């Protein structure tokens, strides 16, 4: 900001950084607004990269931190141009019309995000009464809610996220429009929605956000297969599994422990995978493993049409799911190889989650917990003991009944 100021430009802190500082919270990132054009910003900062076509932005890197720097946006009231265009639904396709500080404030999404900190006189600039809404705990859209949601449907998700994060209530008009315009999310690119889902569910407020998304019927546009499964809960366990996965993720984030989107996505999509696997087994008489492979491929493909899933996450998800049936083999080389599998820990944590939700036997989860706690000699005894009892069970069991059991645990 001082470099911009010394070069004759305005440079103000804006958005969530100002909002969180005023609330006594620690900001996770900082955004800067300026009257310098992206090209002028690029000339001032060698560590700058210009990005975006829809909104031209400058990313200025300081070590591992990126400061997003945007030129003041104009009103765009001049209609269609090479720098400003809308689609038939009113969604902004391109917006590189530059303007004044006041115009920029009125173009922002929520009043509490339209506060500027000015280093010229150390003041907070507020054109939209954002300070009043901040004091009163209100999420209020700037302008007419339906129009603003149509301009950018992601604003609906952001409204829910801020309400969950800050404990604020969404203003009545903006609240009502959420129930009516969820279908607009279908227009948003899956890659962008994936980024938004990460902010929704991986910021330490996942459980509250999930409940609000379902309240406003927005969750089904992000995870349609999961939402369908939740509408047909079996003994409540699908909802419990997702809620526990989100709660565990929130707790790990609060304790500053690592979390991975792969595990959370595995929980969110497990029930569609499980149900589709059972359907394939029943209709095509396939064994569990090939049926699950087909189910997994189709579920991931369909989900990617809503929110994209990068390969670095989809591959661990496949392994976590695929290892679940192997936990039922508690003897010999199968169990030993499972213990040595590089994805064992994540798969084991997922097993615990399923047991907590009542989907899997708690005794099975306890056995795999215990075998990790004992020494090598005791572990060998457990594996050999299980091998012997397993052979006896196989001699006494009915093959047809055994196949049915495998289906039940798909």
Number of alpha helices (DSSP H) and beta strands (DSSP E) in the chain = 21, 11
pLDDT of 5 reads: 95
Using pLDDT thresholds of 50, 70 and 90, give the confidence band for residue 28.
confident
pLDDT, tens digit (0-9, with 9 covering 90-100), for 272-298: 999 999 999 999 888 888 999 999 999
pLDDT, tens digit (0-9, with 9 covering 90-100), for 305-347: 999 999 999 999 999 999 999 999 998 889 999 999 999 999 9
Using pLDDT thresholds of 50, 70 and 90, give the confidence band for residue 146.
very high
The 10 Å CB-count burial string (b at 16+, else e) for 173-192 is ebeebbeebbebbeebeeee
pLDDT of 393 reads: 44
How far apart are alpha carbons 70 and 59 in whole angstroms? 9
pTM of the entire predicted model: 0.83
Domain ranges for the chain? 1-136, 219-410
Check pLDDT > 90 for residue 29: no
pLDDT of 56 reads: 84
Check pLDDT > 50 for residue 160: yes
pLDDT of 111 reads: 97
pLDDT of 267 reads: 96
Check pLDDT > 60 for residue 409: no
Using pLDDT thresholds of 50, 70 and 90, give the confidence band for residue 406.
very low
pLDDT, tens digit (0-9, with 9 covering 90-100), for 262-276: 999 999 999 999 999
Determine what percent of the chain is predicted with pLDDT higher than 70.
Answer: 87
Contacts of 15 (CB under 8 A, 6+ apart): 31, 108, 113, 115
Upper half-sphere CA count for residue 4 (Cβ side, 13 Å) = 25
How far apart are alpha carbons 151 and 88 in whole angstroms? 10
pLDDT, tens digit (0-9, with 9 covering 90-100), for 60-113: 998 889 999 999 998 755 444 444 444 555 555 555 688 999 999 999 999 999
Contacts of 288 (CB under 8 A, 6+ apart): 277, 281, 325, 406, 407, 409, 410
For the sheet with 115-118, list strands across it: 48-51, 57-62, 65-71, 31-34, 11-14, 115-118, 123-126
Averaged pLDDT of the chain: 88
| Between 20 and 236, the higher pLDDT residue | 20
Q: What is the CATH number of domain 1-136?
A: 3.30.460.10
Element (H, E) at 25: none
Active site residues: 29, 31, 109
Using pLDDT thresholds of 50, 70 and 90, give the confidence band for residue 388.
very low
How far apart are alpha carbons 237 and 266 in whole angstroms? 15
**Over residues 17-41, mean pLDDT:** 94
User: Of the ranges 110-114, 340-344, 396-400, 406-410, which one carries the lowest mean pLDDT score?
Assistant: 406-410
Q: In CATH, which of 3.30.470.10, 1.10.10.1100, 1.10.3090.10, 3.30.420.310 is domain 219-410?
A: 1.10.3090.10
User: Of the ranges 144-148, 328-332, 341-345, 349-353, which one carries the lowest mean pLDDT score?
Assistant: 328-332
How far apart are alpha carbons 282 and 326 in whole angstroms? 20
Tokens representing residue 203 in the block: 């910021």
Q: DSSP state, 51?
A: E
Contacts of 322 (CB under 8 A, 6+ apart): 289, 292, 293, 296
pLDDT of 395 reads: 42
pLDDT of 74 reads: 86
DSSP for 55-81, written as a single string: S-EEEEEETTEEEEEEEPB---TT-SB
pLDDT of 384 reads: 85
């Amino acid at each position: 900001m001082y470099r911009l100021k010394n070069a004759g430009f305005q440079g103000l802190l804006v958005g969530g950084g100002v909002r969180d500082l005023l609330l006594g919270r620690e900001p996770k990132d900082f955004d800067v607004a300026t009257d310098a054009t992206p090209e002028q910003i690029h000339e001032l900062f060698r560590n700058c990269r210009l990005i975006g076509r829809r909104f031209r932005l400058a990313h200025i890197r300081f070590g591992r931190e990126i400061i997003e720097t945007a030129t003041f946006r104009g009103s765009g009231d001049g209609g269609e141009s090479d720098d400003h265009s809308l689609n038939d639904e009113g969604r902004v396709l391109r917006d590189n019309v530059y303007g004044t500080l006041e115009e920029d404030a009125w173009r922002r999404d929520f009043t509490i995000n339209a506060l500027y900190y000015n280093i010229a006189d150390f003041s907070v600039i507020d054109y939209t009464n954002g300070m009043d809404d901040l004091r009163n705990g209100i999420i209020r859209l700037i302008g007419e809610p339906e129009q603003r949601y149509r301009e950018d449907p992601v604003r609906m998700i952001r409204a829910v996220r801020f309400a969950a994060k800050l404990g604020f209530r969404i203003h009545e008009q903006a609240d009502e429009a959420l129930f009516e315009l969820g279908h607009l999310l279908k227009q948003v690119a899956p890659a962008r929605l994936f980024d938004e889902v990460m902010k929704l569910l991986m910021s330490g407020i996942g459980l509250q956000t999930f409940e609000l998304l379902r309240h406003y019927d927005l969750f089904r546009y992000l995870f349609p297969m999961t939402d369908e499964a939740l509408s047909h809960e079996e003994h409540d366990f699908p909802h419990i599994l997702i809620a526990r996965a989100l709660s565990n993720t929130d707790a790990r984030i609060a304790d500053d422990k690592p979390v991975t989107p792969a595990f959370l996505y595995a929980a969110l999509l497990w029930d569609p995978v499980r149900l589709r696997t059972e359907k394939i087994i029943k209709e095509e008489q396939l064994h569990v493993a090939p049926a699950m492979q087909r189910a997994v491929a189709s579920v991931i493909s369909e989900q990617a049409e809503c929110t994209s899933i990068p390969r670095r996450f989809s591959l661990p998800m496949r392994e976590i799911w695929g290892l679940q049936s192997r936990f039922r083999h508690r003897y010999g080389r199968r169990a030993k190889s499972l213990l040595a599998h590089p994805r064992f820990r994540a798969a084991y944590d997922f097993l615990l989650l399923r047991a907590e939700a009542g989907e899997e036997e708690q005794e099975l989860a306890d056995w795999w917990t215990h075998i990790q706690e004992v020494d090598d000699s005791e572990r060998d005894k457990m594996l050999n003991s299980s091998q012997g009892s397993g052979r006896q069970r196989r001699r006494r069991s009915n093959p047809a009944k055994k196949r049915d059991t495998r289906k039940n645990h798909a």
